[in-house]
Structure 1
Amino acid sequence: MPEPATLAAFTTLRLGGPAGRLIEAATEAETLRALRSGGDQLILAGGSNVVVADEGFPGTVVLLRERGLRAEERDGAVRLTVAAGHPWDDVVATAVSNGWSGIESLSGIPGSAGATPIQNVGAYGQEVAETIVSVRAYDRARDEVVTIPAAECGFAYRTSVFKHNSRHVVLAVTFRLSASARSTPIAYAELARSLGVEQGATAPLEEVRATVLKLRAGKGMVLDPADPDTYSVGSFFTNPVVPAPDFERVRALAADLGPMPSWPAGGEIKLSAAWLIERAGFTKGYGSPGRGVALSGKHTLALTNRGSGSAAALLDLAREIRAGVVERFGVTLHPEPVLVNCAL
């Protein structure tokens, strides 16, 4: 394991240098006290969607450690409020075991509940924007705790008003789930096939969760201390969304590579970053042993620390992949994780 003195100890990549100061906050009061202490601050909880520079972060790192869930069930609906530091997969497991549907396809995603609205976390046809009612946050500009309704969160594909903006710090999230032992309609083709149902059908919550966990594990997307393929931030690049003319141009360039995955996305077309990466020549496991970083051996969208890597080497690999995809297809990939004290 990384040295506790470095931020590598608090990230799923196991990369990152020292913090100028480290504060662990186990309650909302402790969190607010830390946030009001001033200076440059970095907020961390699960550390699953962040790349921290080898030089670390010279300011104060606040570790959100508050946990807790509160559920109110009425008229077939459940309002579930979760503290920001609560592990996300525990939230999903709790919902599934209680027969609350709406987030079952988000099983196995590492990190904390508080990170989910920031990234508008999504997978296998679900995203948290579909179930979030409101976000409780500390507003730095007003120096007060506010409740932000979902309509004001600016949710879009893997983003929100909270991403790349330090004004608000998420303290808790309230979700609206359905009191049902069956899932929401299965929208993702791979998941539907694995469950043996048609797209748009439903399935028992427990079966959906077990199937998603199996699919994610097969791609190295479930944390496993014994498996370096999981020392990652999950998907490093977002799936690019392009206008229809660009889609036709890319499809023509890829005509000799077989069917190109694509999905409608609000009048534009979403492409598969993993498909583009692999067809640009970066196959599973691609990397240099001397650098200590490589693409996952299970999924080309995950850049991994093989145990002896550095943030600098990981970013070099990301730049190489991004440049290769631009050269082959003319599409620029954008990083999904937050980059701290470093840039791509």
Structure 2
Amino acid sequence: MAVERVDMGGYTLIENAPLLTRNTLRVNARAKLLAEVRDASKLPELLDFPALRTGQLLVLGEGSNILLTGDIDGTVLAMETRGVHVEQDGEIARIAVAAGERWDDFVRWTLGQGFAGLENLILIPGTVGAAPIQNIGAYGTEVAEFIESVEAWDRIERRVVTLDRTACAFAYRDSLFKHEPDRFIVTAVRFALPRQHALRMDYAGIREELERIGVSNPAPFHVAEAVVHLRTRKLPDPAVIGNAGSFFKNPIVDAAQGETLKRAFPELVAWPGKDTRWKLSAAWLIETAGFKGMRKGDAGISNRHALVLVNHGKASGQELWAFAQHVIEGVHARFGVQLEPEPMVIGPR
């Protein structure tokens, strides 16, 4: 099928656009229209097109947190804006970052500037604009802690709005933006990053990795280095095999269910919370249920990490979702625990 491109100044429109290289699970889907936005001020003009006013609109970053189960019979909007603006306020830097900046590039930049806080979130794929939507987290840190506000285009009020941390309603892998996906288009994120911050090293082997690389007095960049080593060893590279990182959320259960499971399965990996609820390790549940390394056709679970759904070659989105459902059903049958996908599943189920 022919692909038509039209440069509109500030954004480019592409008809019948292939999305294979725009999602890290490497699903071979297409979009009826793709809009690549380089200038956020052009959003009102772009969104006034009749096809965008009434049709489906999917905002896409690097596609590292989605599973496409079919073609998009509407518009995919890719924010490709760039820019980082810093305001120093004593020991706190307030940094406004355009939505299209790559997350990992930004984290590495903050470390190079001597800012702390984001070191545990290094090597997470995606864009800055996607970070607050998912409230990305890793190795004991969530991005919400360091977000001061989010700037977005409000499609209902048709204006730019600034939402502070409270208004963003951040929760575990959740936010206002996930609950109102058709309303807000994130255009920039404002961070408040300190120069001094207590390092988080008690999660998933960070201290052991620091010891392994010979660091006894760690700084933020040392913690980042340890996390890079851990992630590289444990998680498959999307450039090598299609995946969207952790596909399943760690389930939250009440204390009674957590204690019952712990009695039945003493090796259960779980973290009792402050509010009497327990967070269970989805990776442990999946591996114990026998799914780590399993595959059906080109869809499967990584043999390196049980949380990671992988595309070994040409699995369709429907095939990947069917395999994920197989895992969810198997874990529920074994443990009575319902797993949920972490990425957004877009299309028919």
Using the TM superposition, give the Cα deviation of residue 295 of structure 1 relative to its aligned residue in structure 2, in angstroms.
0.9
Aligned to 1:51: 67
Greater shift after overlay, 3-12 or 211-220? 3-12
Partner of 1:275: 284
Q: How does 1:147-162 map to 2 (within 5 A)?
A: 147-162=162-177
One of 323, 339, 348 as aligned partner of 1:333: 339
Aligned residue number for residue 254 of structure 1: 265
In structure 1, distance between residues paired with 2:164 and 2:108: 25
Distance, in Å, in 1 between the alignment partners of 2:168 and 2:268 is: 36
Q: Is the 8 A contact 1:185 1:202 kept in 2?
A: no
Q: Distance in 2 between matches of 1:19 and 1:281?
A: 36
8 Å CA contact 2:285, 2:331 repeated in 1: yes
Q: Percent identity?
A: 38
Contact 1:110–1:222 (Cα < 8 Å) also in 2? no
Letter in 1 for 2:111: V
- Offset at 1:221? 5.0
* Contact 1:51 1:340 (C-alpha < 8 Å) held by counterparts: yes
Q: Counterpart of 2:315 in structure 1: which amino acid?
A: G
Contact 1:183 1:203 in 2 (8 A): no
Q: Is structure 2 residue 128 aligned with structure 1 residue 113?
A: yes
Partner of 2:95: 80
Stretches of 4+ moved more than 6 A in 1? none
Q: Which sections of structure 2, spanning at least 5 residues, go unmatched? A: 4-15
CA contact (8 A) 2:201 2:223 kept: no
> How far does residue 141 in structure 1 lie from its aligned partner after superposition?
1.1
Give how far 1:308 is off. 1.6
Aligned equivalent of 1:316: 322
* Two-structure CA RMSD over aligned residues (Å): 2.0
Q: What SS is found at the alignment partner of 2:176?
A: coil
Q: How many residues align?
A: 327
Q: Is the 8 A contact 2:33 2:74 kept in 1?
A: yes
CA contact (8 A) 2:270 2:278 kept: no
Alpha-carbon separation, structure 2, partners of 1:87 and 1:32: 24
In the alignment, is residue 174 of structure 1 matched against residue 174 of structure 2?
no
Q: d(CA) in 2 for partners of 1:265 and 1:332?
A: 21
Give the corresponding residue for 1:31: 43
Task: Give the match's secondary structure for 1:51.
Answer: strand
Q: Paired residue for 1:135?
A: 150
Deviation for aligned residue 1:202: 7.6
1:145 counterpart residue number: 160
Unaligned stretches of 5+ in structure 1? none
Could you tell me the TM-score, scaled by structure 2's length?
0.89
Distance 1:97 1:222, change over 3 A: farther
Q: Give distance in 1, aligned partners of 2:330 and 2:263.
A: 17
State the alpha-carbon separation in 2 of the partners of residues 145 and 5 from structure 1.
28
How many angstroms apart in 1 are the aligned matches of 2:274 and 2:57? 35
- 1:305 aligned residue (285, 306, 311): 311
